[in-house]
Amino acid sequence: IFVLALALPKLAIEVTFGKIVYLIIFIIIGAVIYTSIKLITSSLAFWTKDSQPIVSVTYNVATFTNNPIEIYPAPIRFLLVYVLPFGFTSYFPSVFLLNKMEGNLGLDWILVKTPAGLLVQALVICILFVGISLIVWNAGLRNYESAGS
């Protein structure tokens, strides 16, 4: 947020109070989604004893959102929005900030292309992934076996 506060005045981007509020909410929701995904993948260690390979692959998928999602085929876009929803952690907030929501996001069949629609969708995904992460974590705790003597 600090870097954005420094950079935005130097860019030719219209910044309004409403846009700042939306962006802060997007950032919070994105952080919660990211943390939920990390909790899900890390919790797999309760069963596998080593979840690092799964965590690594998952975060390699996250780098796909460094590029515009519309460059990928539909199955990859679906993966980045709903299966491992990293699109909500970086790509969609930047699309919103740069006023690119009117363009072709390549996801017309999935997304409501308004700031409020995107925010509601991000919130639903966030709640869903928090729930899944807590279920996986609690199931792992019930399965936990101490490695010590």
The model's pLDDT over 111-145, given as tens digits with 9 standing for 90+, comes to 566 778 888 889 999 999 999 999 999 999 988 87
pLDDT value, residue 112? 65
Are 88 and 30 within 8 A, CB to CB?
yes
78-118 pLDDT, tens digit per residue, is 888 888 899 888 888 888 888 776 655 555 545 566 778 88
Interatomic CA distance for residues 52 and 117, integer angstroms: 35
Interatomic CA distance for residues 26 and 96, integer angstroms: 9
The CA-based dihedral angle spanning residues 45, 43, 29, 89, taken in that order and rounded to the nearest 10 degrees? 20
Interatomic CA distance for residues 107 and 77, integer angstroms: 8
pLDDT value, residue 108? 57
More confident residue, 145 or 57: 57
Interatomic CA distance for residues 136 and 51, integer angstroms: 13
How high is the mean pLDDT of the chain? 84
